[in-house]
């Protein structure tokens, strides 16, 4: 299976990288699209080393002008993990202003599956615009894996934590 992991900026990028390893071990092809902020949390070299593929992060990189189209057609499944409130709200509003959002939107209407794994502070998770955006995405056929309660990176406790990688893998496979 061709799996496209789309990563937004979050401390959970380190944990989400475990998805790449697991998918590669089971024989899947994995490519990664990362926002600039995601690459502040986990390096391009790490993602390339795990996937064996170059990481897409710049929609205007030389000789890559149509990469967002190619990636959206290549993927059997797009998994947005970790998904920040910012990007969730952008996707719901149709804003395509970087490699990740243009790739996601370019894949609308294709046969591939789209899964969002929100990861954020509890107040950001509960923010009405974020909840409305998720409901909107779901109405378009996007699957959402709910965050779990527990210790958050901000040293608070609440809902917004990424599920453990093994739980996440099980939930993703169930949706496929």
When pLDDT is averaged across residues 120-129 and rounded to a whole number, the result is: 91
Question: What's the whole-model pTM score?
Answer: 0.93
**CATH number for 79:** 3.40.50.1950
Is pLDDT above 90 for 102? yes
* Residues comprising the chain, all counted: 176
Residues 131, 101, 69: CA angle, nearest 5 degrees: 140
Per the structure, the count of domains in the chain is 1
Indicate the pLDDT class of residue 153, thresholds 50, 70 and 90: confident
Catalytic residue among 13, 57, 81, 154: 154
Q: Within 13 Å and on the Cβ side, how many CA atoms surround 84?
A: 18
61 or 138, higher pLDDT: 138
Is pLDDT above 80 for 154? no
In angstroms, the Cα distances linking 50 to 44, 86, 117, 173 are 10, 26, 20, 20
Of 40-49, 50-59, 117-126, 144-153, the one with minimum mean pLDDT is 144-153
Residue 62's pLDDT is: 64
When pLDDT is averaged across residues 87-111 and rounded to a whole number, the result is: 92
Active site includes 154? yes
When pLDDT is averaged across residues 141-155 and rounded to a whole number, the result is: 87
Query: Do β-strands 157-161 and 148-151 pair in parallel, antiparallel, or remain unpaired?
Result: antiparallel
Domain of 151 in residue numbering reads as 2-175
When pLDDT is averaged across residues 65-79 and rounded to a whole number, the result is: 89
Cα–Cα distance for residue pair 72/110, rounded to 1 Å: 8
Indicate the pLDDT class of residue 65, thresholds 50, 70 and 90: low
């Amino acid at each position: 299976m061709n799996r496209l992991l789309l990563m937004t900026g979050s401390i959970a990028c380190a944990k989400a990288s475990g998805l790449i390893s697991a998918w590669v071990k089971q024989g899947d092809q994995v490519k990664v699209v990362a926002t600039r902020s995601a690459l502040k949390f986990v390096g391009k070299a790490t993602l390339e080393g795990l996937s064996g593929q170059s990481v897409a992060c710049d929609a205007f990189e030389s000789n890559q002008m149509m990469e967002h189209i190619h990636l959206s057609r290549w993927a059997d499944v797009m998994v947005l993990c970790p998904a920040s409130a910012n990007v969730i709200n952008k996707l719901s509003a149709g804003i395509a202003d970087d490699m990740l959002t243009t790739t996601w939107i370019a894949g609308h209407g294709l046969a591939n599956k789209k899964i969002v794994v929100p990861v954020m502070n509890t107040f950001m998770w509960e923010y009405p615009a974020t909840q409305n955006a998720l409901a909107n995405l779901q109405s378009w056929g996007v699957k959402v894996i709910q965050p779990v309660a527990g210790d958050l990176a901000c040293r608070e406790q609440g809902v917004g934590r990424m599920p453990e990688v093994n739980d996440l893998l099980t939930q993703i496979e169930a949706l496929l």
